[in-house]
Amino acid sequence: MPREVREVVFVDGVRTPFGKAGGMYAETRADDLVIRCIRELVRRNPQLPTDRVDEVAIAATTQTGDQGLTIGRTAALLSGLPKTVPGYAVDRMCAGAMTAVTNVAGGIAMGAYDIAIAGGVEHMGHHPMGEGVDPNPRILTEKLVDPSALVMGATAENLHDRLPHITKERTDRYGLNSQLKTAKAYADGKLQPDLVPVALRSSEQGWGLATVDEAPRQTSLEKLATLKTPFRPHGRVTAGNAAGLNDGATAAIIADEATARELGLPVAMRLVSFGYVGVEPEIMGYGPIPSTEKALKKAGLTIDDIGLFELNEAFAIQVLAFLDHYGIADDDPRVNPWGGAIAIGHPLASSAVRLMTQLARHFEEHPEVRYGLTAMCIGIGMGGTVIWENPNWEGAEK
C-alpha cells in the first residue's frame, strides 16, 4: 500500500548546563541529567499529552553503569512518562543524539510514530572515552585503519597534516572567537532560556545548582599559544582549539507536523534531509564535508542555499576544513553565532541536540533565512549532517 511521507518537525529542545568531566556533576548520575531534560520538555509543553509520546530514543557512547540498561526506556520511566511509552538506546559516538533524532524522524515520516523524544547524554567524568572497549585486533593487524584512528585528538593532528595551510595560529584564533561569541551570547541572554537548572550534590561542598556551562573561560591568543600539544610533540591541537571532556545531556520533541499543529505545539524547524557518510578513520574530522554534500544532494540544494550553520567544534581544524571547502570565511556571522563546543563543551552523544536547539532559536531571529544545517564529525571516521527549513521564513506562502 503506498504511503504519503509526512513532514517531520523539531518542536522544542533543552539541555543541561554542560560541566567539565568530573567537575560540577561528579556526584550526579548520568541518567538523572537526561531525566531532568525530559521532565523540562514536558513542563514547557503542557499541551502535549504524555501518553501521545510514541518513543524515547536516548544516545550514549559508553553504554554502561549509569548510562546503560537501555537508557531510553529507563529515562522514560523515571521522568514520569506513562509506562506504555517505550524507549531504546542509540550509539553513533559524537552523533548519538543526531542519530536518535533522525531515527525517530524516519518513523514519524512513514507513520509509525506521531511524537517522539530524542536526545543524548554523556558523563565523561564517570565514563572516560574508550572505557571498557575491546577493539578487534584485526582492525590494526590487518591494517584496516591506522592506530591513530582510535585517538580523536590524533586524528585532528592527522587532518592538520593533510591541510598544512590551516595553521595552529589560525585554529587558536578560531578557538578564541568561539569563547568570545559564547560570552556575548550569555551576556545577551541567548543561551539561558534552553538551559535546565540541575541540582548538585557534593560530599565536600554540600548542595548547589548548575545554571550555566562550566567550560567557558577568558583567554587570549598569547595564552593559547603556550598550551601543550598532548597528542604529538610540537603538534597543533591543544585544549584551546578543541572541545574538552564534558558531562551533560539534551532532549528534544520531534513530531509529525500535522499532529504538532493539532495539539498546539510549536513548530520550530522542519526537517528537510540528512546524510551520514564514512571517511578514512584516521582523518575523521573531514567527515562533515561529504555528509553535507550528501544531505544537500538529497534535498536538491547547494551550499549557497544555507543561511545558518551550527557546526560541532570537536576540533577547530575540523570546522576550518569545512569552511575552507565551501569558501566560507572563518568569522562568517552565519556560522555558530553563539559560539560552539570549544567554549560550551562537547559531551559526546548529547551534542547534536544542542546544535539543533540553537539553530531553532536562530531561525526565530532570522526570518530572512530559509535553510540551515547542523553537522558534526564522528569517531571512527564518519560525518553527519541534517538540513532544516525555517517555518518563520518570510518568503513562505501565508
Catalytic residues: 94, 346, 377
Q: Using an 8 Å Cβ cutoff, are 80 and 222 in contact?
A: no
- What CA–CA distance (Å, rounded) separates 337 from 242? 18
Could you give the count of Cα atoms lying within 13 Å of 13 in the half-sphere of its Cβ?
Answer: 29
Q: CB neighbours (10 Å) of residue 26?
A: 18
- What CA–CA distance (Å, rounded) separates 267 from 390? 9
- What CA–CA distance (Å, rounded) separates 100 from 92? 9
Q: What grid cell was written down for 274?
A: 540528512
State the angle between helix axes of 168-187 and 316-326 in degrees (0 to 180), rounded to the nearest 10: 100
- What CA–CA distance (Å, rounded) separates 156 from 319? 11
Q: Supply the DSSP string of 223-276, one letter for each residue.
A: HHTTS--TTSTT-S--TTSB---EEEEEEEEEEEHHHHHHHT----EEEEEEEE
Q: Is 22 exposed, middle or buried (0-12, 13-18, 19+ CB in 10 A)?
A: middle
Residue 48 vs residues 8, 11, 91, 260, 395: alpha-carbon distances, Å: 16, 11, 27, 9, 30
Q: Which of 10, 18, 8 is nearest to 123 (CA)?
A: 18
- What CA–CA distance (Å, rounded) separates 279 from 155? 12
Maximum distance among all Cα pairs of the chain, rounded to whole angstroms: 65
Q: What grid cell was written down for 260?
A: 504538532
Backbone phi, then psi, for 324, in 5-degree steps?
A: -65, -40
Phi-psi region of 372 (alpha: psi -120 to 50; beta: other; left: phi over 0): beta
Return the beta strands (E) in 7-70 as ranges.
8-15, 19-20, 55-59
Could you give the count of Cα atoms lying within 13 Å of 21 in the half-sphere of its Cβ?
Answer: 15
